[in-house]
Structure 1
């Protein structure tokens, strides 16, 4: 029996152990089979002894003594199964310690440094930088591609942990209940972005399911999402972290909003942290949320890094990170195995295409004239914005401009938006001007004397639904950029909010 065969046997036995432990329900008021700290401590001692015995079996396998290795590993796992079952029936026993113990042994048996190179595989390197925008970070151009023949990461199926893990099970329930609409929206958004984002993960040797899990939790696939803390884009990079991974501002466009470049930067970050945390995926996900420095202080690094599920680590991270890690893992698992959870993702025709504008139009106008053809529930506004992140949705693009659209809309555009009543309706609605109410003081009859020839900045209070382009049209004398500069607003989305007071300068045409 080869070392690889022993690892397969080990994983199979783990699944049996986890299934046995997870099959014991926790019921309030049920008489416990055993109670007290003494019993729990004895079970913890068995966990430690069996872990050492399993590790000794792995050492035997690596030295070629496969027969003894198999016997030792099987005996260790048989006793672990019994101890885990007893822990579930003991009032004071912490099952989280068994979760962490199983996780550590899985990592020892499959993800340790000595097992990373599988027979017949070679390690490749990331291609040299081409000078393209977003590839300027040395981290992006020098990180190794880790060849992975994996189900989720490094040969370690997420299901091995989910079978026992309460936090991930709870996260699965959240995605399948109150957050099901969010999960469905994230999946639909991702399908249209997939052709840009998935290849970057593939080139980095990372599983697509992880990309979806992070996207679903971070932004729901909304390319222009911005958090209160300033994290931006589909994968919510902070400005400094984005710069570190090559996401800069080019011609006023913040590349954190570019789906392809943000996926590339995210993959580089994940690979960097996998190297630091010895391929411990949960620690990497936690670092992405709570900061790599904080995670290293709590869990350590390298081969000495503790499991995220260790009570010492899990109990010391923030509540946000304790919730974030299971939610990402659960979304990734549902992406891989929806059928196991009575979940059906929508079928999306997401092949990319493009149109060339026959007349000037904005994303908003295109959304109106395209209607709900092929997207019955929501129309096309979000998809068009996601596929054209550099465009202001209210700003008209000139005739001849190329707009990225799902391929199925190419014919719809020719039919309904190049000319005709829907194009005319869209243009009419877009050109509408909403009157600006007089200032309160003037409405109450308070006189204000201003020299007739003086040019003063006007003020405008933002209302719900306003955009900077719409405000510029209402006042008719300034461009979007001039108003943005006057108020310190940053491209590309020029974020404003209801109730905000803007200065509207008096500009020449």
Structure 2
């Protein structure tokens, strides 16, 4: 963190902590003298005060030019607050929200947010990108989670309200969806050199790109939804066309990581402009359609997505989607603060020139779990070579994109020896093919309800092998009610 940014962070941290304590004291100014808190609570509040004083120490370190130790002191203070908050929750009379409020603010400060006298021009966006050709270009990308990009003059974390829906989404990513989050992170690290430059060129935060991708596809480049959305960022066909995602030599460029990231960045910027930089409404438009969101919002683009006039009118999918994207982005920025450790991934891009004909499937068998990849390399190889059919053999001399560390593994394992022979034998195995058996007879008959019919009379006359309950269930009938002209499905008794 630059000297000036740390200095301002420290000043504001002290102010925030002081304001919280003053507010707590002010609440006691009434006609009745409050009882003093129990000793256990006083001890915890003392830890909160100690965490605040830690920033004074960090401030002195920063003034002395020791920004590295200052950052350690900042981290230690956050740990103190986190520990005290945990004990507060189990201590009668302790106000947990007092701790969580400070923790939330300090966590944002660690990201560089809430620095009141800092202008966008002073913010660090990481080193400029070198041309993405070969090892040097990929290696020039700043480390993930360390590069801060402003979103229309605001830190991304300023725009993420730590409300109920976002907290619930954080819990889901940290529990039931934890495996999905880890897979998305690994997939993204291998695609990062293609996708993030597109976002950076549009001035958008990397964490937002990760959040959208984690929710949309988990970093599976060839993902296709039931509604027809396709690619790592799940563009519908018509929307993709609007942003230049077309067919190129039979390849749908919605599946191209760089092209889809470019189109997504352009879309996000377009909608941010339409919704007056309201990120939540922009994400809702991406999921639920910009036309619907513009009709709901009208001219009041300052309205919150969680305002009942908006929130109650969007689909449940969109209600879930917005906080889930923001929660994934938040975890990308602050994994350590949520007891989360992302795996270390060497995502530097490399390439191999085939010394023998092979397919991506065969190459996956040959590479095995090299470089501690327990799930194998199939997904990564597919993502890096989206235009190739994974079952189609590629000729000698063809070039495939691979992670840089796999170049030496390929040379050692997949040019000669037993592994490429085994992979080829498995790939070329012959599976017997037989004609499909004749279709089974239709086990359902249909009956059109006539005037005067009831479900009971229909079942008695036309289906001796079933019951009213079963017919009602088959036809989703409420209260066994039928009406003239309705077509019912009845079990065939043959």
CA distance in 2, matches of 1:229, 1:14: 50
Is residue 319 of structure 2 the alignment partner of residue 322 of structure 1?
A: yes
CA distance in 1, matches of 2:253, 2:176: 32
Deviations 1:184-227 (A, max 9, x none): 00000000000000111010000000000000000000000000
Cα 1:387–1:441 shift into 2, 3 Å: same
Match of 2:68 in 1: none
Match of 1:347 among 335, 344, 348: 344
CA distance in 2, matches of 1:247, 1:18: 51
Farther-moved stretch of structure 1 (249-258 vs 159-168) = 159-168
Which stretches in structure 1 are left out of the alignment for 5+ residues? 1-6, 24-109, 122-148, 443-509
Deviations 1:107-155 (A, max 9, x none): xxx99xxx9985689xxxxxxxxxxxxxxxxxxxxxxxxxxx9666345
CA distance in 1, matches of 2:9, 2:366: 56
Match of 1:338 in 2: 335
CA distance in 1, matches of 2:179, 2:164: 23
Cα 1:439–1:330 shift into 2, 3 Å: closer
- Compute the displacement of 1:376 (Å): 3.2
Match of 1:297 in 2: 295
SS at match of 1:440: coil
Q: Report the number of matched residues.
A: 319
Runs of 4+ in 1 over 2 A off after TM superposition: 7-20, 115-121, 149-164, 437-442
- Compute the displacement of 1:170 (Å): 0.4
- Contact 1:18/1:163 (CA < 8 Å) preserved in 2? no
Deviations 1:465-490 (A, max 9, x none): xxxxxxxxxxxxxxxxxxxxxxxxxx
CA distance in 1, matches of 2:236, 2:20: 40
CA distance in 2, matches of 1:331, 1:263: 17
CA distance in 2, matches of 1:247, 1:116: 38
Is residue 428 of structure 2 the alignment partner of residue 431 of structure 1?
A: yes
- Contact 1:364/1:394 (CA < 8 Å) preserved in 2? yes
- Compute the displacement of 1:350 (Å): 1.3
- Compute the displacement of 1:437 (Å): 2.4
Match of 1:418 in 2: 415
Match of 1:360 in 2: 357
Is residue 386 of structure 2 the alignment partner of residue 389 of structure 1?
A: yes
Match of 2:195 in 1: 197
Question: What TM-score does the superposition give when structure 1 sets the normalisation length?
Answer: 0.58
- Contact 2:186/2:343 (CA < 8 Å) preserved in 1? yes
Match of 2:245 in 1: 247
CA distance in 1, matches of 2:347, 2:247: 28
CA distance in 1, matches of 2:390, 2:427: 11
CA distance in 1, matches of 2:395, 2:411: 17
CA distance in 1, matches of 2:271, 2:12: 25
- Contact 1:14/1:160 (CA < 8 Å) preserved in 2? no
SS at match of 1:355: strand
Match of 1:178 in 2: 176
Match of 2:283 in 1: 285
- Contact 2:187/2:220 (CA < 8 Å) preserved in 1? yes
CA distance in 2, matches of 1:248, 1:413: 34
Deviations 1:396-446 (A, max 9, x none): 01111000000111111111111211010011111101001244369xxxx
Match of 1:268 among 266, 270, 295: 266
- Compute the displacement of 1:311 (Å): 2.1
Cα 1:16–1:158 shift into 2, 3 Å: farther
Match of 1:464 in 2: none
CA distance in 2, matches of 1:419, 1:117: 59
SS at match of 1:403: strand
Match of 1:219 in 2: 217
SS at match of 2:292: helix
- Contact 1:355/1:404 (CA < 8 Å) preserved in 2? yes
- Compute the displacement of 1:384 (Å): 0.2
Cα 1:162–1:261 shift into 2, 3 Å: closer
CA distance in 2, matches of 1:18, 1:214: 35
Match of 1:313 in 2: 310
Match of 1:402 among 390, 399, 411: 399
Deviations 1:443-474 (A, max 9, x none): xxxxxxxxxxxxxxxxxxxxxxxxxxxxxxxx
SS at match of 1:298: helix
